[in-house]
Chains A and B, each alone.
Chain A
């Protein structure tokens, strides 16, 4: 007669499981990577980039100098003021001749024609600018465009940009294109 191999006591199972659980609880970091996404312009081979002729009035130069001071459109300003300045420049509500031209264009998906601003933001920095200041300015620029798109979609669709479907978002993006140019370094040979 075979002897029964006595049962293993499972009472300590919970303790062991708890031990493992605490280990993983403590080591887990649930970090979500968040970032500001950008697209770099492709490199042009040979010599300096061919300058695309852009009318002077269409460009707003946003410059951060080596002391992290911000100049936008030739004026010194605080980071907090940049958002409104960019919005006013791009939208040009008063049709000022010093601010960007507008192009009348039909957008698929929405009825009618729209004035699309030709404004371009040119972001320039010094080699001594700190990364924190640079990101703060980038963030304000993105925020300005987000607000403009939101306003546009509320007047034309009655809802905020984020709640629109893909086609409508595409239409809004076409109406307010994000034109931020991260300038070429002025002198790349000097490293």
Chain B
């Protein structure tokens, strides 16, 4: 009687040849969604929380005004009082006009009417400086204003 040796079914090795492709796919995904931070933050901003927030729809058409206490490395020069940051430097309220004009200049004519200003303000900042900024924005007729806030639960 012939003994037929039954072959054990071999589990085939999983081919890793496609692994680089998968990883590359992921890589390209993250490459495309990554936005490196455009401006260095000179002021500390902890946004307040609000439940009724909406997404800013045209991010490319908004200009940011940061207000808050300077970060510790700048406190020796600029103190701990609330300061305004436009682009990469500390600015005064009177300079907002030029900043808005500059931002307008950079956008195409047809987009300018949709431009908005986003205030990124620390929740401990006093309203006095914000009121001044609002008055200045009204003076340069930049009337669309966003109060930046984190989505969160209230009460």
Cβ-defined partner of A24 (8 Å) among B30, B50, B130: B30
* B30 & A28 in contact (Cβ 8 Å cutoff): yes
Which residues of B lie under 8 Å from residue A48 when comparing CB positions?
none
B13 contacts chain A at the CB level, 8 A cutoff: no
A79 contacts chain B at the CB level, 8 A cutoff: yes
* B135 & A188 in contact (Cβ 8 Å cutoff): yes
* A33 & B56 in contact (Cβ 8 Å cutoff): yes
Cβ-defined partner of A130 (8 Å) among B36, B125, B137, B149: B125
* A24 & B143 in contact (Cβ 8 Å cutoff): no
Interface of B is mostly: mixed
Which residues of A lie under 8 Å from residue B54 when comparing CB positions?
34-37
A14 to B25, CA, bound (A): 11
A182 to B53, CA, bound (A): 18
CB of A176 to closest CB in B, whole Å = 15
* A36 & B146 in contact (Cβ 8 Å cutoff): yes
* B145 & A40 in contact (Cβ 8 Å cutoff): yes
Question: Which of A87-95, A105-113, A131-139 lines the interface with chain B?
Answer: A131-139
A17 contacts chain B at the CB level, 8 A cutoff: yes
Known A17-B23, A24-B31, A185-B135; contact A131-B150, beta-carbon cutoff 8 A: no
A103 contacts chain B at the CB level, 8 A cutoff: no
B132 contacts chain A at the CB level, 8 A cutoff: yes
A142 contacts chain B at the CB level, 8 A cutoff: yes
* B127 & A24 in contact (Cβ 8 Å cutoff): no
CB of B60 to closest CB in A, whole Å = 12
Report the interface size class on chain A. Answer: 35 or more
CB of A123 to closest CB in B, whole Å = 11
* B56 & A34 in contact (Cβ 8 Å cutoff): yes
Which residues of A lie under 8 Å from residue B143 when comparing CB positions?
39-42
* B132 & A131 in contact (Cβ 8 Å cutoff): no
Cβ-defined partner of B134 (8 Å) among A30, A35, A40, A132: A40
* Chain B residue at minimum C-beta to C-beta distance from A10: B20
A36 to B31, CA, bound (A): 30
* A39 & B145 in contact (Cβ 8 Å cutoff): yes
A96 contacts chain B at the CB level, 8 A cutoff: no
A30 to B19, CA, bound (A): 26
CB of A142 to closest CB in B, whole Å = 4
A122 contacts chain B at the CB level, 8 A cutoff: no
B118 contacts chain A at the CB level, 8 A cutoff: yes
Which residues of B lie under 8 Å from residue A20 when comparing CB positions?
27
Known A24-B27, A135-B149, A185-B131; contact A32-B138, beta-carbon cutoff 8 A: no
A48 to B53, CA, bound (A): 33
Which of A33, A43, A80: most chain B CB closer than 10 A? A33
A-B contact sample (10 more), CB < 8 A, given A28-B34, A131-B130, A135-B48: A21-B30, A25-B30, A27-B36, A33-B62, A35-B149, A37-B56, A130-B123, A135-B123, A143-B154, A182-B134
Query: Which residues on A are within 8 Å of B, measured CB to CB?
Result: 10, 13-14, 17-18, 20-21, 24-25, 27-30, 32-43, 79-80, 125-132, 134-136, 138-140, 142-143, 146, 182, 185, 188, 191
The 10 closest A-B pairs by CB, nearest first: A132-B123, A127-B128, A35-B146, A24-B30, A34-B53, A139-B50, A17-B23, A43-B138, A129-B127, A142-B52
